[in-house]
């Protein structure tokens, strides 16, 4: 299998962390690529020129980080990251993490292309409000059973999104505003799969 990725994408990092946690890294070749450069090798596997993409041993090209994560979860022998009895809870948490990553990533991309004024647009304001609401809900729910479970896909997606906020939007100061969420996230962020794949 081949995983197309870069070092700054929260979505690609989720796919890579799942590969590490599932013990699949020796079966996955990492293909480093800049998605914004419209490289032919990426467009050949994803006409949207977005990462991550996972090409499977039988020649399918999977896009979308959560779909790649579900596919890899079926492959490796180690514990399921979406265990059947807790499926809905885990997917619900993964959805919250993905929404946080989407709002953060689109804020960063908006600023990159249009400057800080992109935060003042209708969409920019919606993204900032969405992040505030998501963080408040997640901080309130740190004692939910899903947060206490062994590592699962929800944890991975959420912790990557929170680390992306530290990386790209530190002024949001989510740790100061929601210390209980930071207390939950830090052990997840300290795992080998996270430190090996740190944003840079």
Ligand X SMILES: N[C@@H](CCC(=O)N[C@@H](CS)C(=O)NCC(=O)O)C(=O)O
What residues contact residue 87 under an 8 Å CB cut-off, 6+ apart? Answer: none
Which listed residue (25, 39, 50, 189) binds ligand X by CB under 6 A? 50
Distance between CA 21 and CA 152 in Å, rounded? 10
Stretch that binds ligand X, among 17-25, 49-57, 130-138, 192-200 (CB under 6 A): 49-57
The H-or-E segment that residue 45 falls in is: helix 40-45
Go through the chain and tell me how many residues it has.
Answer: 200
- The correct pick among 36, 117, 129, 133 for binding ligand X (CB under 6 A) is 36
Candidate ranges 64-72, 81-89, 111-119, 130-138; the one touching ligand X (CB under 6 A)? 64-72
**Interface with ligand X includes 158 (CB under 6 A)?**
no
CB 63 within 8 A of CB 4: no
* Run of H or E including 67: helix 65-75
Q: Are strands 2-5 and 29-32 parallel, antiparallel or unpaired?
A: parallel
Is 47 or 150 the residue whose CB approaches ligand X more closely?
A: 47
CB 144: neighbour CB atoms within 10 A? 14
Before 52, cis peptide (omega within 30)?
yes
Span interacting with ligand X, options 44-52, 127-135, 144-152, 157-165, rule CB under 6 A:
44-52
In this chain, which of 21, 22, 54, 65 binds ligand X, going by CB under 6 A?
Answer: 65
Q: Is residue 152 within the footprint of ligand X (CB under 6 A)? A: no
63-71, 80-88, 116-124, 184-192 -> range binding ligand X (CB under 6 A): 63-71
* Of 33 and 178, CB closest to ligand X: 33
Residues 154 and 78: their CA atoms lie apart, in Å, by: 17
Judged by CB under 6 A, the residue of 5, 35, 72, 100 near ligand X is 35
Contact between 108 and ligand X by CB under 6 A: the answer reads no
Is residue 97 involved in binding ligand X (CB under 6 A)? Answer: no
Helices (runs of H) and strands (runs of E) counted in the chain: 10, 4
Measure the CA–CA gap between 123 and 130, rounded to whole angstroms.
Answer: 10
Judged by CB under 6 A, the stretch of 47-55, 75-83, 127-135, 175-183 that binds ligand X is: 47-55
Residues lying near ligand X in the complex (CB under 6 A)? 9, 11, 35-36, 49-52, 64-66, 105
């Amino acid at each position: 299998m081949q995983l197309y990725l870069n070092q700054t994408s929260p979505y690609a990092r989720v796919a890579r962390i799942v590969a590490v946690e599932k013990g699949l890294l020796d079966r996955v070749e990492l293909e480093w690529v800049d998605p914004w450069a419209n490289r032919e090798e990426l467009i050949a596997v994803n006409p949207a020129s977005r990462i991550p993409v996972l090409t499977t041993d039988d020649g399918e090209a999977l896009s979308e980080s959560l779909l790649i994560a579900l596919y890899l979860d079926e492959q490796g022998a180690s514990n399921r990251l979406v265990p059947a009895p807790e499926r809905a809870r885990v997917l619900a948490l993964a959805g919250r993490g993905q929404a946080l990553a989407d709002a953060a990533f689109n804020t960063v991309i908006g600023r990159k292309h249009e400057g800080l004024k992109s935060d003042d647009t209708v969409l920019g304001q919606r993204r900032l409000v969405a992040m505030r609401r998501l963080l408040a809900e997640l901080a309130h729910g740190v004692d939910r059973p899903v947060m206490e479970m062994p590592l699962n896909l929800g944890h991975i997606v959420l912790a990557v999104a929170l680390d992306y906020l530290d990386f790209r939007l530190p002024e949001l100061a989510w740790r100061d505003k929601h210390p209980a969420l930071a207390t939950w996230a830090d052990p997840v962020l300290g795992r080998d799969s996270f430190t090996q794949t740190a944003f840079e």
